[in-house]
Amino acid sequence: MLILGIESSCDETAAAVVEDGRRVLSSVIASQIDSHKIYGGVVPEIASRLHSEAIVGVVREALAQSGRALPDMDAIAVTYAPGLIGALLVGVNFAKGLALSSGLPLVPVHHLRGHVASNYLTSPQLAPPFLCLVVSGGHSHIVQVEDYTRLKILGRTRDDAAGEAFDKAARAMGIPYPGGVELDKIAEGGDPTAYPLPRPRVAGAPLDYSFSGLKTAVLNTLNNARQKGQEVSVPDLCASYRAAVVRSLVETFLKAAEQTGAKKLAVAGGVSANRLLRRELSRLCKETGRELFLPDLSLCGDNAAMIASQGYYEYRAGCVAGTGLNAYANVSLDMDFRDVKGEGRR
């Protein structure tokens, strides 16, 4: 079964063709990062406009590179939530038009479920159930993937997402957007023990995260040094901060694995590219006899192959939208599309 995937939830316009949820025939990504860089973050209005400009060419290119044509597709999968509403609407409306004109079924896909599916593309042997740490720019969740379309959230961040925490600390240190990627590189050359940082905990919720205190600690370190006229070693601060964030992510994730008895663990989302996170999880999973699945680096960030992969499983589970499909800035990943208010009845 061939699925055309379309993604436009943030600052990447992407399209891909995937066979049977597992084999990528093509994957095209038009990144807008350079256009947002000068503003220090994604500007929603600019994102929507650039998606509108890019989407036709990106979808055409994805079909051309796959060696197939639109009539060869079995369904069109599109990210309908969560994300920037104006950006999502570009992909959703384009996919609706394409579905209407071609007669193909339209399959709505939750962006974070798509991130989870990046592991299906990387590891053909991976099948639910498994436990997944979903860490992106907007979300941090510990998710029990009971089945391809049945997911349960066991823990979540109470404030900043992991990617957001990396980006904000990077910005405070004068590292340009998207800072998380660069902070990770700089940290490789720093001393992670140089700056003591707190160990964040959420009272009464052992599987939840909180990163805003760590970010404040970095700001305080920078301000104190400035006031005293002292130099801050950016590589050391990056390394200390990265170590603190990763320690929190890993400790809590492994606690969830112990509680649930999960033997198969996976990571997904932009932050799954983090070098230390990958190393630490690999080491600890080996030590504790757990199997770890990491997405290929090319699939960690936003892409449409992961949307087409998850779209395949959603379609098989009977999840098809009408032409009234809307986009949503916030929908929880454990929610079935048919239970989203107003959608099940269309």
What is the contact surface with ligand KG4 in residues (CB under 6 A)?
A: 10, 115, 136-138, 163-164, 166-167, 178, 180-181, 184, 269-271, 273-274, 301-302
Could you count the other beta carbons within 10 Å of the beta carbon of residue 264? 19
Min CB(10)–ligand KG4 separation in Å: 6
Interface with Zn ion, residue 302, by CB under 5 A: yes
Q: Which of ligand KG4, Zn ion, none does 181 bind, CB closer than 5 to 8 A by kind?
A: ligand KG4
Q: Which of Zn ion, ligand KG4, none does 208 bind, CB closer than 5 to 8 A by kind?
A: none
- Cβ closest to ligand KG4, residue 3 vs residue 116: 116
Among 8, 26, 32, 136, binds Zn ion (CB under 5 A): 136
CA angle 134, 138, 144 (to 5 degrees): 25
Residue 176 DSSP symbol: P
CB 89 within 8 A of CB 67: no
- Cβ closest to Zn ion, residue 24 vs residue 135: 135
| Binding mask of the shown chain, residues 35 to 74, with x at each position contacting Zn ion by CB under 5 A | ----------------------------------------
Measured CA distances, 31 to 256, 264, 316 (Å):
35, 32, 30
Min CB(180)–ligand KG4 separation in Å: 2
Residue position matching structure tokens 């990770």: 184
The upper half-sphere exposure of residue 183, i.e. CA atoms within 13 Å in the direction of its Cβ, equals 32
**3 state SS of 128:** coil
> What is the distance between the alpha carbons of residues 335 and 228, in angstroms, rounded to a whole number?
51
CA angle 63, 64, 66 (to 5 degrees): 65
Of the ranges 122-130, 153-161, 234-242, 297-305, which one interacts with Zn ion (CB under 5 A)?
297-305
Interface with Zn ion, residue 32, by CB under 5 A: no
Beta bridge partners of 155: 142
Structure tokens at 339: 């239970």
Min CB(163)–Zn ion separation in Å: 8
Min CB(209)–ligand KG4 separation in Å: 14
Q: Which of ligand KG4, Zn ion, none does 307 bind, CB closer than 5 to 8 A by kind?
A: none
Min CB(270)–ligand KG4 separation in Å: 2
- The set of residues, in sequence order, having a beta carbon less than 8 Å from that of 179 and lying 6+ positions away, is 166, 167, 168, 169, 170, 171, 173
Min CB(322)–ligand KG4 separation in Å: 26
Positions that interact with Zn ion (CB under 5 A): 136, 302
